[in-house]
Amino acid sequence: MAELHDLSALEQADLVRRREVSALELTEHYLERTQRLDDVGAFITVTSELALERARALPVGDQDGPLHGVPTAIKDLNLTAGVPTAFGSPAFADFVPDVSDAVTLAIESAGMISLGKTSTPEFGSPCYTEPEGYPPAVTPWDRTRMAGGSSGGAAAAVAAGLVPIAQGSDGGGSIRIPASCCGLFGLKPTRGRISGYPMYGDPVGLATAGPIARTVRDAAAMLDVLAGRRVGDPAWAPPPSGTFLEACDRDPGTLRIARIPDPIIAHAPVDAACSTALAEATHLLESLGHHVEDVAPPLPPEAVPVFETCWAVLTAMSVVPPEREHLLRPLTRWLSDRGRAVNGPEFGLALGAMRRFAAQALDALAAYDVVLSPTLAAPPLKVGALRNDDDPAADFEAQKAFTPWTSAWNVTGMPAASLPLHWTDDGLPVGVMLAARPAEEELLLSVCAQIEAAAPWRDRTPPGW
């Protein structure tokens, strides 16, 4: 008989709805696993008492949403009233917000129960999760290797069975990178799909929240929970035709798919495992009746320094009290100094240039329904392989070489997902990425669900599961 953590998030919610399992039983089950099995650096803070209190008080009714009663976790970048939220930085180690952001509020309104805050690197900047003073987040497939970042804690928690589903955020690949490293499905929604209330801290439009899950349908249900605009949002995506979960049951039809095998933002070598994963995904898509053709990278090399300028300015916008700046790690200080050196007109010109590059890329890809590429240039690397506190510039370049595709879809605002379609001979997961036109998450989810049905991965679990 299956254990509770073997079930999908939707299956667990169905048990709660039918009163065969209570939200309290689920919460106790996952808290026990978290206490016993979190050797993957998943959690920064575990809020056991608060989770149990909410589980006991949670009403159950026939009209509950699809994830009502399901345990989850909230990334340490997201404001959570009354819960320490350090943004992955010692500079905010004692910060406890008195308000929650739109993501936290949506999770609570859906009747999901957060077990605590998942690990993230400082301000969510690097693509690895090695926060100061805490263990690194590692993939449970090999605990000497990184879980990716910046949603590394969230992915490690889901992959190790500490929660059935979790929320992450993605400004340059930070959902899809850890999804690939941890053998999960991770979805970055389209720009404006999920509210940034109340911080609205990204004027560039690169970052958004999104789901990390073991199945496409679980992720779609989580997107239904998170999606929606709030009064005051500066931009928003058009509403879907139905629920995102319903989209998983639709036939995507015959699609024209653009394949991008060559790195976009860096001249990086591509590991043979990633090329193999791409070739296998191509064959699978063609066997499903889709048409796949190679295209050139849609962003020119000139777009890379423009992205870097915007990224550095966003890092510099993190308001750290002067007396705490010495607590920042070298990469953050280096990026902040780089961002502060950009004056207002230069930033405005960079924003305009990035939007023009995005428009050109969208135009180049307009004839295609979906875009296919590797997620990363290598399987999960050893912990510390990218980090270089002595040379932050080298650290940054190494990150680009590891992730030469992901940030392209943050620039364009397209929805994009990493699918766990390949494992190396020594058992490391390798993701493949699909992206769709802006606001076409429904199509993206329908083809991802079709792929999962043809090549299921859910029952493949890591050591210690």
**Residue numbers annotated as active site:** 75, 150, 174
Closest by CA to 35, choosing from 218, 184, 160, 164, is: 160
| Alpha-carbon radius of gyration of the chain | 20
Cβ atoms of 247 and 220 closer than 8 Å: yes
Q: Count of CB atoms within 10 A of residue 18's CB?
A: 9
Q: How far apart are CA 15 and CA 25, in angstroms?
A: 11
Residues 6+ apart with CB under 8 A from 144: 138, 382, 383
Cβ atoms of 31 and 48 closer than 8 Å: yes
Closest by CA to 457, choosing from 316, 242, 448, is: 448
DSSP class of 391 = -
Q: Is the dihedral of CA 222, 226, 227, 228 positive or negative?
A: positive
DSSP class of 455 = S
Distances (CA, A) of 199 to 102, 118, 138, 207, 317: 9, 19, 29, 12, 12
Q: What is residue 297's three-state secondary structure?
A: coil
If you write DSSP's letter for every residue of 176-230 in order, what string do you get?
A: HHHHHHHT-EEEEPPTTSB--TTT---TT---EEEEEESSHHHHHHHHHHH-B--
Q: Estimate to the nearest angstrom the gap between the alpha carbon of 76 and the chain centroid.
A: 13
Strand order across the 256-259 sheet: 165-170, 208-213, 185-188, 416-423, 429-436, 370-374, 256-259, 291-294
